[in-house]
Amino acid sequence: MPVKPKLSTDEILKAEYNYIANTVFQANEDRSRVASFYFVTVGSLVAAILGTIFSTENIKNFALAFVGLFVTLTILGALTLAQLARLRAAWHESVQAMNQIKDYYIKHNKEIEPAFKWRIKTLPNTDKPYSIANLMAIEVSMLSAITSATAFYFLLLTLGNIAWWGWLILAATLAGGGYAQWMWYKSLLVDDQ
Residues 174 and 169: their CA atoms lie apart, in Å, by 9
Q: Taking the domains of the chain in order of start, what are their residue ranges?
A: 9-52+59-188
Residues 3 and 1: their CA atoms lie apart, in Å, by 6
Above 90 in pLDDT, residue 20?
A: no
**pTM (2 d.p.):** 0.77
- Environment class of residue 58 by beta-carbon count within 10 Å: exposed (0-12), middle (13-18) or buried (19+)? exposed
Between the alpha carbon of residue 113 and those of residues 15, 93, 103, 105, 135, the distances in Å are 21, 21, 9, 9, 32
DSSP codes joined into one string, 39-73:
HHHHHHHHHHHHHS---HHHHHHHHHHHHHHHHHH
- For residue 147, pLDDT over 80 is answered with yes
Torsion of CA 55, 61, 63, 69, to 10 degrees: -100
Residue 146 has φ and ψ, to the nearest 5°, of: -65, -40
pLDDT value at residue 184: 92
Binned at pLDDT 50, 70 and 90, residue 177 comes out as very high
pLDDT in the model for residue 29: 80
Average pLDDT, rounded, for the chain: 81
- CA distances 176 to 47, 56, 72, 171, Å, are 25, 28, 17, 8
